[in-house]
Amino acid sequence: MSRVYLFILATALIGCRSAKPPAPVPAPVAVGQRDADQAAKLSAAGNWSGAAGSWERAVSDYRLLNDRTNEAIALHNLGEAKEQLGDLDAARRLLEEAATINSTLKADDQWWRNQIALLQVEAKGSQTNALRNRFERLDARSGNLKNNNLRALYVNERGLWHSRDGEFQKAGSDFAEAMRLFQGANNGPGTATVMANQALLLERQGNFQAAAGKWQEALTRFEGMANPVGIAISMLGRGRSLQQAKQNLDEARDLLQRASRNFRVLHQQGEAKEADELLQRLKAI
């Protein structure tokens, strides 16, 4: 037994000695990876100005390498950074450019991610016809969308559109489908996001007590995933719903104060301003 063991050990050692070291990464590729990694970290931290600069460098890096797949990814992320900075025209142009590349590459999933991001950009703009037209074009192609996570994202965006337009029954149906698809894919963040959108739908329907309960469900989900943005949005939503229902006003005040503080830490000044305005209204109740 000992001789067999020694023979195997010797063979293993010989194998280790003869293994070739991995080939070094070419310098231009390493530069692209470094810029993309830095950009991703800045995006995750909410430093959108810094992220935009790093994604711009990554786009240039991948263009020099004729790496169209990573160029499209960098363009998409640059577009999202521009959206966060409020430059919707630039965001739209960059996302369309990424979509064109992905269409050429027949990268259908990536193309749909571009389209979903474009829907979010259009929803922030003032031209409602642009959003309606995009949904009409995408609905005609959505039957071929087999990726459940992507389909759920798309249906969720459509539900938000119906909710804003006052088509509450259609919105509820879309959110129910998005929830089913996210749960089937074990997508926790997606499930929590749909819960938040269902809470917002209840608010728009004037059912503030039910909305407050749904916001609490979303808050609990986001807390379980340690998702700071989701937590702040849910605190704001529950505080707003309780205020509208004129129930548990001390809790509403506490939630709105904490939401305002957290949004400022997250550099989301618009949401912080909304929380502050709601706190001012509470003083009159």
pLDDT digits (tens, 9 = 90+) for 77-116: 999 999 999 999 999 999 999 999 999 999 999 999 999 9
Is residue 154 domain-resident?
no
Residue 2 pLDDT exceeds 70: no
Is residue 50 domain-resident?
yes
Residue 127 pLDDT exceeds 60: yes
Share of the chain above pLDDT 70, in %: 92
Is residue 214 domain-resident?
no
Is residue 46 domain-resident?
yes
User: How far separated are the first and last CA of the chain, in Å rounded?
Assistant: 86
Nearest-Å Rg of the Cα atoms of the chain is 24
Q: What pLDDT shows up at residue 19?
A: 59
Task: Provide the mean pLDDT of the chain.
Answer: 90
* Domain total in the chain: 1
Residue 17 pLDDT exceeds 80: no
Q: C-alpha angle with apex 247: 271 to 251, nearest 5 degrees? A: 55
Q: Are 163 and 204 in contact (CB under 8 A)?
A: yes
Is residue 81 domain-resident?
yes
Where does the pLDDT of residue 160 fall: very low under 50, low under 70, confident under 90, or very high at 90 and above? Answer: very high
Q: Mean pLDDT throughout 240-262?
A: 97
Residue 6 pLDDT exceeds 60: no
The number of C-alpha atoms within 13 Å of 113 and in the hemisphere containing its C-beta is 17
Q: What confidence tens digit (pLDDT) does each residue in 32-46 have? A: 899 999 999 999 888
Is residue 255 domain-resident?
no
Q: Show the domain range for 102.
A: 35-126
Residue 124 pLDDT exceeds 70: yes
Q: What is the CATH number of the domain that holds 46?
A: 1.25.40.10
Residue 233 pLDDT exceeds 50: yes
Share of the chain above pLDDT 90, in %: 80
Is residue 106 domain-resident?
yes
The CA distance from 62 to 66, in Å, is: 6
Is residue 104 domain-resident?
yes
Q: What pLDDT shows up at residue 100?
A: 98
Residue 14 pLDDT exceeds 70: no
